[in-house]
Amino acid sequence: MTLALSVLDQSLARSPDQAGIALQETLQMAQWCEQLGYSRFWVSEHHAFPSVAGSAPEVLLAALGAATRSIRIGSGGIMLPHYSPYKVAEVFSLLANLYPGRVDLGIGRAPGADMSTAVALATDGRPKFDAFPALTAKLSEYLWSDTASPVVSPRPPHDLPLWMLGSSPDSAVLAAQRGLPYNLGLFINPQADSRLIGIYKTHFQPSERQRKPYAILTLSVFCADTEEQASALQLTYDLNLFRFFTGQSNGQSMTPQEALNYPLGAHERAFIASRENSRASGTPTQVRQRIEALAAQHQADEIMAVTNIYYLEDRKRSFELLRQAFS
Q: What is the pLDDT of residues 239-298, one digit of tens each?
A: 999 998 898 888 899 999 999 999 999 999 999 999 999 999 999 999 999 999 999 999
Burial of residue 117 (number of CB atoms within 10 Å: 0-12, 13-18, 19+)? middle
Collapsing DSSP to helix, strand or coil, 274 comes out as: helix
User: pLDDT by residue (tens digit) across 23-40?
Assistant: 999 999 999 999 999 999
Would you state the pLDDT for residue 18? 95
Of 213, 262, 270, the closest CA to residue 236 belongs to 262
* Tens digits of residue pLDDT in 172-218: 999 999 999 999 999 999 999 999 999 999 999 999 999 999 999 99
- Per residue in 112-156, pLDDT (tens digit) is 677 888 888 887 878 888 999 999 999 999 999 999 999 999 999
Domains of the chain (ranges, CATH numbers):
4-228+279-325 (3.20.20.30)
CA distance 240 to 218: 20
Cα(201)–Cα(203) distance, integer angstroms: 6
Query: Residues with Cβ < 8 Å from 48, sequence gap 6 or more?
Result: 113, 114, 117
Please count the other Cβ atoms lying within 10 Å of the Cβ belonging to residue 91: 20
Integer angstrom CA distances of residue 144 from 74, 116, 177, 207: 18, 34, 17, 12
**pLDDT (average), residues 86-97:** 98
pTM of the complete model beyond 0.85: yes
